[in-house]
Structure 1
Amino acid sequence: MNGAMKTQEISKSIMSDASRRIEKLREGKYIAGDFGLEIVKPPWFDEAKFTRGQKLSKDNLVCVFLADLLFLLTVFSSPRILRTLILTGKSSCPFTALNRYVATIRAVVSWHNGDIWNPEDLAHKFLRHVMTSHKSLYTIANFQRKEEVDRIEVEENPMVQITGMYKKIRASNEEQSRSTKCDGNAKNTNHITPKMKIQPDFDQAKERPRTSSNVQASIKKHNFSLSNDEFTPSKDTARKRSQQDHNPNFSSNYNQVPSSRNSDSKMSESVRSDKSPPKVDESIPNHNIPYVSQWDLLTVQYAFIASIVAHPEAFGAWNLPDEDVDGFIYYWKVLGFFLGIREEFNLCSGDLEQTRALILAFEQEVILPAFEEVDHNFEHMSLALMGGINMMVPLVNYPSALMYLLTALGADTATIYKSLTLREKAIYHFLNCVTYSCRVRLIRNMFSSLLEICLDLIEGHGPWWWPRILAPKNTISPRVP
């Protein structure tokens, strides 16, 4: 069931509330993530709901894996998140991408299966490792290498050949726009809304460096609503931050969104071990919107929850009880809290219907428009990801994965489908067959077991009975935090 059909099932009032909430969520662009937390149960913790969410994830492992993999492309569509990933240098070629995302898969699976509250458990160690990594990335991207990340471009790699698939998305938009103009009474389908192009073509993008002035001028000219801009550090901002760090009584005008936390969330402040990074001063011109902001973190959270909450059948999770999905939402509310997302920016702070409406609205207002502006950096990182995963799970490639994802989100992908090769179309339909066959629990469990075997094989310790001829040629070293 695609996004358009799901939206029709939700009342207009709830969808309207979701759209208004997204406008408040956008304010999270100006607030850094909260990285000073101890992993202890907050006062509002509900053991039963958390356990239900864990169980749903465990029982639908292959569905969650497929969804998390494809929804990583939505994370790549955010320019600011993409720059931080490029900065790390750990995702730009298939082999490094494989290392990075197998470690991510291992971490998420450990949270599904383990005890995050036990310091000796692998789940706790992985959660602590991810929290530390986010805090380190925040410091590097915003203070140590700020000017570099503002203008960073992915380096060419012979293992990654740009295909121009991102241009086909634009072609699909332009064709849909012409079709709509020719038929004045045409039905307003749920496609990626056509917009004027801001990004240059691939060849031009490689030659022309990005600057704050030309990007912001384009944004102003075209009334572009997403944060695709770049900013230079402000000396006044740095001075005020330094004063605040060294003087606890220093009073500044750092921007803080009016808090809507309930009494439970206020109580949870007691588990914070140190102060949050400084906020942005709105009064200073060209203020520094932080990397690894609340907006960035909730965008990543969206990628982990959208499939189960809003598009379960499209990713093989059939006939999920509402109570279990509600537990899944709560499960990711807790994980999001520890990964740095404040209550007012946590996508999982509402009930099932509210969260589903919020996700669908987020897709229509943020995710799909972002795909209109993707460039060669997006495509390079996507190709590296899919190339790496293909070493572990064959029959997955970038064009087919992108086609499947956009179709699940309700986008009009007719033009993109026509541009696929015969092999890419076959893989796309194979993915449809896999997710449909997961209606049968036995098949779903079989795929989940095969996935765990693939993870073991790529780390060089598969089962003894597995035929060597079917083992991957390249293996990686397991990462244990």
Structure 2
Amino acid sequence: MVIDNTSASHEVELCEEEMEEVMKKLIEGQHFLVNLGEDIPTGTPPWFDEKKFEAGKQFVKKYYGGIFFCHLVSLIMMLYSPQVLKPLIFTEKSETPKKSYRRYLSTTIHVISWYMGDMWQTDSKARRSLRLVRQYHTDTATRLNSVEIRPSVDNTDITQCGLPLHKGHPILEVLQKDFSSIPNCPFLSQLNGNYKNTDVFPVQQIPYLNQLDMSGTQFAFMGLVLLHPEKFGISRATESELEGFVHIWRCIGWILGIDDRFNFCRLDSLPQARRWTRYFADKLVCPLMKMSVTAEYEHMGRAVADGARCYTGVSYETFYLFIAWVLDLQMPQLEKHASLADKFSFRKLTYFFGVIGNLPFGNYIVNGVIYFTLKLIIDPPRFWPRRFRPPMIKGLKELWVHT
């Protein structure tokens, strides 16, 4: 039996058999829609720990620059699932750099409002944002899973992505060669066909925006921060701060409709959370990245990277070099393929986050750069020349919570 962290000592870790059991139960979530509806639970969950929650909020305030960049990196990495990728293409809200820029920066401001605001206060910006997101999930799930629309979503492919973004130099084959050394997913037989990069029609149709998808999204927002804080300028975070960050995402998942049994952060004592997150990354995320590298995957990843280029200054290839560095993946073919400019940008990123960010007070430098960049996009100073700032996104100022 898996140990319930609410009563277990923080020193107790999960053994291999217990993690396998947790994974099997989590995969069952593919058959269940996330809980929908604009109305979100009132009060706090029965397992809520105020001390952990406040420690997590302090962690975010200290290191939000590295956390934000980790979110962006994870976003590109987590496009591996066709179950997630097809709805993104079908809804036509992120298949171009311009659309992607607006969509994912909007997501960032929503998440920052959760971190910095009071998600338990009825009329707070954070609560309003969470309500909007739940309503969006409800509308999207209802539409995508409808009898009329579902077949079109299932058949979505690269032809609906618009003009190619690789400019005649795709890295699809490069990634496939480098990923070939990643072990296969031991849970592949339990995953429905929708999660596999095959043309075989799934035996059982599973809903879009299901509990497993949402749990994977939790991993995208907190997983790499927990596993490799030193690679995002967060090496000086305390164990209580990291544990609090996991607890925050357990709470966010609960508010957004993830059942406790499928909540990725259910095991939120730090030893268990770290071991479980590493297991999830090694046994599911990396193997599915290996098998799901498609033209659609590269296109949508490039849309994210190219959309963010106006404020990061780095390419899709550079982002992937960084992802490989974070995950300790050997990618010799990508290193050969990358241009000198890509490699130089990669070195700058690793130095900025891996060295400067980890110096005493280095987090303030990282935070300042990220804060000023977002400020220019959301609420730019009047004196700042337009040609020296990213395109402004209107409508986000109302959710903007100053850090």
What TM-score do the two structures reach when normalised by structure 2?
0.86
CA distance in 2, matches of 1:344, 1:421: 45
Deviation at 1:333, TM superposition (A): 0.4
> How far apart are the structure 2 equivalents of 1:71 and 1:50?
23
Partner of 1:161: 166
Q: How many angstroms apart in 1 are the aligned matches of 2:58 and 2:395?
A: 25
Residue 19 of structure 1 deviates from its aligned partner by 2.9
User: For 1:379, what is the secondary structure of its paired residue?
Assistant: helix
Where does residue 255 of structure 2 map in the other structure?
338
User: 1:52, 1:324 within 8 Å by CA — same for their partners in 2?
Assistant: yes
Runs of 4+ in 1 over 3 A off after TM superposition: 10-13, 156-159, 223-232, 464-469
* Cross-structure match for 1:3: none
User: What is the CA-CA distance between 1:141 and the residue it aligns to?
Assistant: 1.2
Residue 338 of structure 1 and its aligned partner are, at CA, apart by 1.2
2:361 alignment counterpart: 442
> Retained in 1: the 8 A contact 2:57–2:116?
yes
SS at match of 1:60: helix
**Residues 1:320 and 2:237 aligned together:** yes
Q: In structure 1, what is the equivalent of residue 149 of structure 2?
A: 145
> Shift of residue 366 of structure 1?
1.1
Q: Greater Rg, structure 1 or structure 2?
A: 1
Q: Is it true that 1:53 corresponds to 2:45 in the alignment?
A: no
Distance 1:368 1:127, change over 3 A: same
Residue-by-residue CA offset, 1:233-284 (whole Å, 9 max, x unaligned): xxxxxxxxxxxxxxxxxxxxxxxxxxxxxxxxxxxxxxxxxxxxxxxxxxxx
Deviation of 1:231 (Å): 8.5
Q: Deviations over 1:125-154 (max 9, x none)?
A: 111111111111111111151011101124
Counterparts in 2 of 1:31-42, with a 5 A limit?
31-36=32-37, 37-42=40-45
Measured after TM superposition, the shift of residue 229 of structure 1 is 5.9
Percent identity, aligned pairs only?
A: 26
Q: Which of 171, 180, 183 does residue 193 from structure 1 map onto?
A: 183
Query: Residues 292, 224 of structure 1: CA spacing in aligned structure 2 closer, same or farther, 3 A cutoff?
Result: closer
Partner residue of 2:376?
A: 457
Structure 2 unaligned segments of length 5 or more: list them. Answer: 1-10
**Mapping 1:65-214, distance limit 5 Å:** 65-143=68-146, 144-154=148-158, 155-158=160-163, 160-161=165-166, 163-174=169-180, 176=181, 192-193=182-183
Q: Which runs of 5+ in 1 are unaligned?
A: 1-9, 177-191, 196-218, 233-284
Matched residue SS, 1:438: helix
Alignment partner of 1:375 is 2:294: yes
**Matches of 1:141 and 1:225 in 2, distance apart?**
14
Q: Deviations over 1:34-72 (max 9, x none)?
A: 224334322332222111112211211111011100001
The 1:126–1:231 alpha-carbon spacing in structure 2 relative to 1, beyond 3 Å, is farther
Residue 469 of structure 1, CA deviation: 4.7
CA contact (8 A) 2:233 2:362 kept: no
Greater shift in the superposed pair: 156-165 or 73-82: 156-165
Deviation, structure 1 residue 84:
1.3
Q: How many residues align?
A: 376
Question: Is contact 1:62–1:444 with CA below 8 Å preserved after alignment?
Answer: yes
- Structure 2 contact 81–195 (Cα < 8 Å) conserved: no
Q: Is the 8 A contact 1:231 1:287 kept in 2?
A: no
C-alpha spacing 1:96/1:105, structure 2 compared with 1 (3 Å): same
**Superposed displacement of residue 160, structure 1:** 2.2
Distance 2:58 2:14 in 1: 32
Distance 1:468 1:286, change over 3 A: closer
1:316–1:438 CA contact under 8 A, matched in 2:
yes
Distance 1:299 1:440, change over 3 A: same
